[in-house]
């Protein structure tokens, strides 16, 4: 009886681990999509309604889904509370917060931080150009992330359960 | 001779083949090879004691030891 219970625990635990790893691939794709949406909205805020940056970031953060909203909301909070007066620095801090919640590659962080450096310290046209460039780069990375997800999400789910089963068999 | 061991090794064989297929489908040939190797070595570790017993018995039958 105890043996069966232990075996179920091990298989369940390993399977759950596999699911967690598989879920990270999905989360990454969702975050990248969210970031692109956010940049789209930022473009509108800058070009159409000329909203001040802190307020624009806050509005965008409220519209986005959980993962990517963290970056915008954190940067907006820092700027609104005047803890940080430099938009680039606030963006950088936002990236750090995002990094704690979603696993991101160095490439993505690099793209985002390069974008942050020019945020809020150039003319409207320059910023719009910059947003366009960043969005293109993010969309390329999103395609890669999607491919990786299709390939590896299912694999990790299977591997988790199989690993649990092997451990049970060896211990039995 | 316990029959459980045979089933255990059969199970490990089946799961190893699943590992191999899944990893190969995901395009990780090198890992699938390592997984197969690991499966074989685990099965070998389980059997090695019995093999030693068998050899000892053979020796004792022919009065070699």
In Å, how far is B23's CA from the nearest CA of chain A?
7
Q: What 8-state DSSP symbol labels residue B1?
A: -
Give the chain B residue nearest A169 (alpha carbons). B8
Flag if B12 and A151 touch (Cβ within 8 Å): no
pLDDT at B43 over 70: yes
Q: What is the pLDDT of residues A28-48, one digit of tens each?
A: 888 888 888 888 888 888 888
Flag if B26 and A155 touch (Cβ within 8 Å): yes
pLDDT at A26 over 80: yes
Beta carbons within 10 angstroms of residue A91's beta carbon: 26
Q: What is the pLDDT of residues A77-106, one digit of tens each?
A: 888 887 777 777 888 888 888 888 888 888
Residue in B12, B26, B27 closest to A166 by CB: B12
What pLDDT is attached to residue B1? 62
- Count CB pairs under 8 A between chains A and B: 33
Q: Which domain holds residue A64?
A: 2-171
Q: What is the pLDDT of residues B2-41, one digit of tens each?
A: 888 888 889 999 999 998 998 888 888 899 999 999 999 9
Nearest to A32 by CA among A155, A149, A130: A149
Name the domain count of chain A: 1
Q: Where are the beta strands (DSSP E) in chain A?
A: none
Q: Break chain B into its structural domains and give their ranges.
A: 4-59
Q: pTM of the full predicted structure?
A: 0.76
Flag if A169 and B15 touch (Cβ within 8 Å): yes
pLDDT (mean) for A157-171? 88
In DSSP notation, A99-153 reads: HHHS---HHHHHHHHHHHHTTTSS-HHHHHHHHHHHHHHHHHHHHHHHHHHHHHH
What pLDDT is attached to residue B65? 62
């Amino acid at each position: 009886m105890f043996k069966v219970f232990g075996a179920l625990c091990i298989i369940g635990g390993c399977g759950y681990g596999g699911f967690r790893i598989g879920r990270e691939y999905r989360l990454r794709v969702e975050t990248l999509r969210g970031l692109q949406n956010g940049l789209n909205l930022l473009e509108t805020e800058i070009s159409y309604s000329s909203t001040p940056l802190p307020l624009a970031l806050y509005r965008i953060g409220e519209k986005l889904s959980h993962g990517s909203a963290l970056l915008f909301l954190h940067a907006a909070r820092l700027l609104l509370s005047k803890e940080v007066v430099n938009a680039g620095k606030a963006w950088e801090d936002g990236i750090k917060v995002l990094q704690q919640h979603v696993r991101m590659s160095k490439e993505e962080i690099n793209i985002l931080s390069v974008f942050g450096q020019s945020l809020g310290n150039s003319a409207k046209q320059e910023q719009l150009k910059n947003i366009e460039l960043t969005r293109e780069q993010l969309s390329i990375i999103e395609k890669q992330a999607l491919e990786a997800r299709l390939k590896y999400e299912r694999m990790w789910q299977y591997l988790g359960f199989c690993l649990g089963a092997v451990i049970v068999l060896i211990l039995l | 001779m316990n029959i459980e061991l045979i089933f255990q090794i059969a199970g490990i064989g089946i799961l190893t083949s699943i590992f191999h297929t899944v990893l190969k489908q995901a395009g990780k040939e090198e890992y699938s090879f390592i997984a197969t190797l690991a499966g074989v070595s685990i099965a070998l570790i389980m059997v090695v004691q019995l093999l030693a017993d068998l050899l000892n018995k053979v020796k004792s039958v022919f009065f070699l030891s």
